[in-house]
Structure 1
Amino acid sequence: MSHLGGLFLLLSLLTWHHIWGAAGHTLPICQGREVKCSDGSCIPRQSVCDGNKDCDDGSDEYQCSHVWCKKDEYACRSRRCISLHFLCNGIDDCGDGSDEAPCQNCTAGSISCGQSDMCVSRNKLCDGRTDCSNGWDESQELCGLEQPRPQTSATCKSSEFQCGDGQCIHLAWRCDNSPDCSDGSDEDNCDQDECQVNKGGCSHYCIDQPMGFICHCPDNMRLVEDSHCEEVDLCLERDVCDQLCVHTNRSLTCACHEGYLMNTTTRACQAKGDEAQLVFTSSKGMQRISISHTEYRELELHLPGPGPGPVAPLASNRTLYWAQQGQGSIYRVSMEGHSQEAVVVLKDKGSVSGLAVDWIHQLLYWTDMKSGSVNVGLLHGLVHRRLITGLDKPSGVAVDPLQGLLFWAQCGKSPKIERAGLDGRDRTALVTSLIRLPVALALDVPRQLLYWVDQQMRSISRVNFKGHDRKTVVESNGYLDRPFGLTVFEGFVYWSEEVTHSICRANKHNGSQLQVLLKNVTSPGGVVVSHPVLQPNGPSVCGSPGSACQHKCVVNLLAAAHPEFSCISPEAELNKTREIPAISHTVPTSTLSDSTFAGILSLIIFLSVLLVGMALWWWREEFRPSRPLNVQSFSLKESQDPLIIQAPPAGPNTCLVKETLLKLDLDGE
């Protein structure tokens, strides 16, 4: 009978070996930036359709015709689609230089036909007529798969002028005695009245000039970007109130939010309670000073490779989140006590460039310069995901969970500042012009203003949360040559400066009262103010700006397209299982890591072997000769779970197997 038991065990192991092999060959093992070949191997995504067979079976070069690009778009070798107007403009718009490759030995605005060394005008590409002797200007590679037809340029906005080659420029640039179109068509026929056609693109009034025209706005409005009028917020226009401002009878009355007191002398709003702490990072680690500059100390933190980097506070428990510049890991440290150990929240291969804490929904947002993304995760870091991708050098992030708004900046070829909901949807551009290198963002939550520091323009500016009422509040003053961090508190903006090795502040309204708080700071980095008043409690908008949630907000970061914010009423919560937390920790199978999956498989195999052993034991016990009555057997008063092996009551190994399984299960989670 023992031979039969051995045979049964051998067959079970062979069966599981087969299942293991099948699972190992059918489950996806490629990483996020890889694609799978037909034979199951993985290659980098950028190797697909690059003209080289990187898969052993060549499947990475199947179906690689340029069907993904639209008519009048150029298909780069990098698989990016760009407008034909961007060809040969001296800028690497493709990212791999393929849009500038055909431009050798040709004048500006002309493109080489290839090996024929012939040059044609850019506006003759894909116009239905072959101008290159080799037909390259009408080729499928350049023009897509549609039948050639006369080129129709994209329609320009009402505030733009369409050049002869289809390019769109600002309407105010027409007839300004400076050609802005590549073909100079913006300076043709300049003796006509431009205001006769669509008011010259002006939103309100158009005034014709002997040369060109100008747009004009009604009273209480001002001109923005040469053509649009926006209402003037008198409170922000005069900019004298720190927080609340009431405009009545042409006069302004200032007030302070809850948690602040107004100084009777300066009329400034000052936070109640303990004095706020200004925390900044440097090559020495993390340091802090009091706002009044009466106290300075270095936080005794055991950080892995201390250095400058972004930092974000969670005021409710005096916790700081920090990332080293150029690295992908994020750490959590406490401001309490003396010597503190840094706790790893999450590890990644990216490059964290900005951090922000959502204290209402207990979320952490960060920008990753390497992956070009804005990311979101739970504060403990166990669950996180990419939220917004395809960004060009994202450099800073800020969040206002009370309004349900997320802000970020990017400083690549097209620098700008954008806004979205906490779930990444409803994306809107706030600042797109007169911005070059925004390196940090900060919010003035009481006034609903967004501040940013521009390293190349050497200035600190602000707009409201809709992108209006823009103002430069601090300009180059000898301490803005290379700013890094930025924060706003009470009536001041604070920033760190790398050239002068200093921590500075100035009036947030007009840049006056410049004060160098600290000098001789080696490589200063991120800077924040920690005070409970900056993170007030309030109703959750539950992911959607403008819709307050009066009950519990449940966040599921692992929803398919976007994180899901759900407002759960007490009645609905009673119908839920008690195991569902306020912030969802559920991890679907498709998101499990390789190590987690291997752990689960190991647990399954362990259980299977254990069951086989129990079956063999039962087999042998059932058919062996009867035993004396004094041999210990299962008690009906004990658990009947077949996975629990009973031991004598006083023995130290009681329920050892069950405890082991529980530990494995927790580890797997």
Structure 2
Amino acid sequence: MGHLGGFFLLLVSVHSPGAAGHYLPACHEQLEFRCGDGSCIPRPRSCDGRADCEDGSDERHCSHVWCKNDEFACSSSRRCISLSFVCNGVDDCGDGSDEDSCQNCTAGVFSCGAFDVCLPRHKLCDGRTDCKDGRDETQESCELTRPRPQTFPKCAAAEFPCGNGQCIRQTWRCDHSPDCSDGSDEDNCDQNECRVNNGGCSHSCEDQPMGFLCRCPENMRLVGDSQCEEVDACLEIDVCDQLCDLVNGSLACDCHEGYSVNPTTSECKARGDEAQLGFTSSQGVQLMSITGTEYRELAPHLSGPGPMAALASNNTLYWARQGRGSIYRVSMDGKPQDATLVLKVKGSVSGLAVDWIHQLLYWTCVESGSVYVGPLDGLTQRRLIAGLDKPSAVAVEPLQGLLFWAQCGSFPKIERAGLDGRDTVALVTSSIHCPVALSLDLPRRLLYWVDQGMRSISRVNLEGRDRKTVVESNGYLDRPFGLALFEGFVYWSEEVTRSICRANKHNGSQLQTLLTNLTSPGGVVVVQPVLQPNGPSVCGRPGEVCRHECAVHLQSESPEFTCIFPEMGQNESQETPAISRTVHASSLSDPTFAGVLSLIIFLSLLLVGMAVWWWREDFRPSRSLAVQSFSLKESRDPLIVQGPPVDPNSCQYLKIKLDHSLTTA
């Protein structure tokens, strides 16, 4: 019986998975991998990026990664990426190993990858495999060369749809001049156009023996032949640099915080250090004082024209050479120095802008027809907006959460969206040929652009109204490139006259050539802290203001802006992806915010202490504790500083008496 009992216990120990001394099969040393729990898996399944052992031990201590034949094994990140990502100018591995030892192909040439050839663009997707790995015939590579089909946008209410889908102005219909390529705008011209969609007029439509006319009420003006908009008297007269107020026929000008107003000329001058003008040319990245008293080279080796942007908080310039896919940064402090490569991108960079609130970099790429975004340290990049036709410029207004871009393709226009790329709005779609640069007038909430085709500089408000051409062709706008705005002037570079010029931002007067004899002048930027004011963080979209923190996540397909509140605690911040940026609103807002917050905390502690003291006393029904309530009122505009009522007779204002014709216009 004792032998039978021992044999029974042996059987239990072998077949019971929970037994302490359970039997483990032997793994074939060369063909199998032993997991931490003793089980065996095929050896090729270890270190393949997926856990096959229940305890995940097959993916620990891997010195290399097993990748498929059509994949590339990154050196230190233990990742497998598609071979089509190798040598594409982007660090897809995260350790740079996919871009090491790559052929240094010039702009406009396709790289077949490490130790392979550089192909001319016309050999892409030609039906023949020229690269060893066949990447020149992949779908992703073909998207870069596939011509976009000729499509026509849906016509607006103020436009006439031609028979072929083309859109023209309604006022061009039946004018005895065919404007549609199929001539359909001159058909059926004996009818009353005002009976169809009111002729596209926003208000009154008046039929004419030949065509029709759109008319507006007395307090409005006609824009684009069909739309009526209210007249902004301040922008119509256009003499105030910044703040403007029209009271009882008198115009009063004032300036925002950080500026001083000249009581005689109404000009607003920035306080603090003198502004610096940065620009590029064939001599490299250079810097000069706004008055022209100082001039020096920052990075002589970064030669050639290209878009520029600046971060005033640390005196840093960002630059991308025209036609190339590299973005550099260079410090304005100290002696000439080598620039730092921030990131390499696909295609060529045509526009560049810095979001100084969320520490982001926005740029446009011609080949992909897209707007991209990435952190200022260049750790990653994401496509934000796609489907554009030759995007040429970009600008950002983070205090209101707005992003602007321009395109010079078949349908040139300027558009606007939130910082997350959503809610697109068209601002300028007519009388525009090729807008090559954008610049913002933050105090007046205006967007300026320089049009290389129209040879002019124009502006419009951030809603697309109050359009005005401020500088027209004057001999120094034949081929403009860069554009900047500061105080009462617009600054631009011009390739034909090889100069950098400036003129009055209201009417183009006071034209000056600041520099001449520059070879290939490129982007220009004005650097002064007042141009990048601090304020609450608009988290992604207009109106979504974070009073505490705004986290920007760039790991998803599109950036995600998320408000983080104190009650979410430290655990929430620890779960934030590594590639993110967190903006503390308290450090960006007005200094009084910290004082108010301290006062609230102090009063709360005092109230709790009084409550505890009262609880310890004998309960008396007649006893009460009166707490005075109060509220904090903030300006909705982070650029406007509220103060006491202004005396209309104050010498800080410039009074301009308007004649009767202006007040009744």
Band the TM-score falls in, shorter-chain normalisation: 0.5 to 0.7
Change (3 A) 1:31 1:464: farther
Equivalent runs, 1:376-391 vs 2, <5 Å: 376-391=373-388
Q: Alpha-carbon deviation of 1:426? A: 1.0
Looking at structure 2, the residues matched to 174 and 432 of structure 1 have their Cα atoms a distance apart, in angstroms, of 19
Query: Which residue pairs with 2:663 in the alignment?
Result: none
1:283 alignment partner in structure 2 = 282
User: Against the structure 1 CA distance between its residues 273 and 177, is the aligned structure 2 distance closer, same or farther, given a 3 Å change threshold?
Assistant: same
> 1:308 aligned to 294, 305, 311, which one?
305
1:243 counterpart letter in structure 2: Q
1:266 to partner: Cα distance: 1.7
- CA drift of 1:377 comes to 0.6
Give 1:436 deviation, angstroms.
1.1
The residue correspondences of 1:183-262 to structure 2 (distance < 5 A) are: 184-262=183-261
Contact 1:46 1:78 in 2 (8 A): no
For 1:29, which of 77, 82, 93 is the aligned residue? 82
What is the CA–CA distance in structure 2 between the aligned matches of 1:393 and 1:524, rounded to whole Å?
A: 21
Does the CA contact (< 8 Å) of 1:299 and 1:335 recur in 2? no
Look up the equivalent residue of 2:477 and give its one-letter code: L
- 1:499 corresponds in structure 2 to 496
Pair 1:12–1:377, CA change in 2 (3 A) = same
Q: Which amino acid aligns with 1:438?
A: P
Structure 1 counterpart of 2:656: none
Contact 2:298/2:332, CA 8 A, preserved across alignment: no
Q: Which sections of structure 2, spanning at least 5 residues, go unmatched?
A: 1-25, 35-41, 49-64, 72-79, 88-111, 114-118, 140-144, 583-665
Partner of 2:560: 564
Report what 2:540 is aligned to. Answer: 543
Question: Which letter does structure 1 place at the counterpart of 2:227?
Answer: H
Segment of structure 1 superposing worse, 365-374 or 311-320: 365-374
- Structure 1 equivalent of residue 412 of structure 2: 415
Higher relative contact order (CA 8 A, sep 6+): 2
Q: Does 425-434 or 373-382 show the bigger shift?
A: 425-434
Counterpart pick for 1:15 among 18, 43, 48: 43
Counterparts of 1:61 and 1:276, CA distance in 2: 51
Cα distance in 1 for residues equivalent to 2:465 and 2:395: 18
1:298 aligns with one of 288, 296, 314 = 296
Distance 2:180 2:391 in 1: 31
2:324 maps to 327
Match of 2:512 among 501, 515, 520: 515
Distance 1:451 1:192 in 2: 41
Cα deviation per residue 1:509-530 (whole Å; 9 max; x = unaligned)?
Answer: 0000001111112221111110
Structure 1 position 48, deviation (Å): 11
Aligned equivalents of 2:288, 2:148: Cα separation in 1:
48
Query: 1:157 offset after TM fit, Å?
Result: 4.8
Task: Write the letter of the residue equivalent to 1:570.
Answer: P
Deviation (angstroms), 1:400? 0.5
Q: How far is the alpha carbon of 1:8 from its aligned partner?
A: 4.8
Report how far residue 249 of structure 1 moved: 2.6
Listed one character per residue, the Cα deviations across residues 548-594 of structure 1 (whole Å, up to 9, x for unaligned) are: 1111100001123x2000010111143325474897279xxxxxxxx
Q: Deviations over 1:451-507 (max 9, x none)?
A: 111112111111111111111100111111111110000000001111111111000
Write the mapping of 1:111-510 to structure 2, written as runs, cut at 5 A: 157-163=156-162, 168-182=167-181, 184-293=183-292, 295-301=293-299, 304-510=301-507
Q: Cα 1:421–1:23, aligned 2, differ >3 Å: closer, same or farther? A: same
SS in 2 for 1:381: coil
Query: CA 1:488 to 1:157, structure 2 compared with 1: closer, same or farther past 3 Å?
Result: closer
CA displacement, residues 152-182 of structure 1 (integer Å, 9 cap, x when unaligned): xx98654344556665543212221223345
> Structure 1 residues 255, 372: closer, same or farther in 2, change over 3 A?
same
CA distance in 1, matches of 2:297, 2:125: 52
Alignment RMSD: 3.8
Please report how far the alpha carbon of residue 539 of structure 1 lies from its aligned counterpart in structure 2 after TM superposition.
Answer: 0.3
Distance in 2, Cα, partners of 1:155 & 1:357: 33
On the 8 A contact 2:223/2:229 being kept in 1, the answer is yes
Aligned partners of 1:481, 1:82: CA distance in 2, in Å? 29
Question: Which one-letter code corresponds to 1:279 in the other structure?
Answer: G
Q: Secondary structure at the match of 1:242?
A: coil
Code of the aligned partner of 1:569: F
Q: Say if 1:524 and 1:166 are closer, same or farther in 2 by CA, change over 3 A.
A: closer
- Tell me which amino acid in the other structure corresponds to 1:574: Q
Contact 2:284 2:301 in 1 (8 A): no
Alpha carbons of 1:31 and 1:426: their partners in 2 closer, same or farther (altered >3 Å)? farther
Superposed CA offset, 1:343-376 (max 9, x none): 1111234211111110000001111223222111
Identity %: 66
Do 1:285 and 1:307's aligned partners in 2 also have CA atoms closer than 8 Å? yes
1:370 aligned counterpart, secondary structure: coil
CA distance in 1, matches of 2:448, 2:154: 34
SS of equivalent residue, structure 2 residue 185: helix
Q: Determine the C-alpha separation between the residues in 1 that align with 2:499 and 2:148.
A: 42
Give the TM-score, by structure 2 length. 0.67
Q: How does 1:40-51 map to 2 (within 5 A)?
A: none
How many Å apart are 1:534 and its aligned residue? 0.3
What are structure 1's unaligned runs of at least 5 residues?
Answer: 35-41, 64-76, 87-153, 587-669
Question: Which amino acid in the other structure matches residue 487 of structure 1?
Answer: A
Could you say what secondary structure the match of 2:545 adopts?
A: coil
Q: C-alpha distance in 2, partners of 1:404/1:394?
A: 20
Q: Determine helix, strand or coil for the equivalent of 1:215.
A: strand
What letter corresponds to residue 208 of structure 1 in structure 2?
D
Question: Which residue identity is paired with 1:266?
Answer: T
Measured against aligned partners, the alpha-carbon deviations of 1:208-247 in whole angstroms (never above 9, x if no partner) come to: 2222210100012111221111111111111111011122
Structure 2: distance between partners of 1:8 and 1:53: 42
Q: Kindly tell me: are residues 218 and 384 of structure 1, through their superposed partners in 2, closer, same or farther at Cα, counting changes over 3 Å?
A: same
Contact 1:372 1:393 in 2 (8 A): yes
In the alignment, the residues of structure 2 paired with residue 164 and residue 577 of structure 1 have an alpha-carbon distance, to the nearest angstrom, of: 57
Distance 1:48 1:310 in 2: 29
| Equivalent pair of 1:403/1:541 in contact (CA under 8 Å) | yes
Counterpart secondary structure, 1:31: helix
Provide closer, same or farther for how the CA distance between residues 49 and 533 of structure 1 changes in structure 2, counting only shifts above 3 A. closer
Distance 1:61 1:292 in 2: 55
- Number of the residue aligned with 2:101: none
Return the offset for 1:19.
4.9
Is contact 1:418–1:429 with CA below 8 Å preserved after alignment? yes
Q: 1:54 to 1:208 in 2, by over 3 A?
A: same
Letter of the aligned partner of 1:204 in structure 2? H
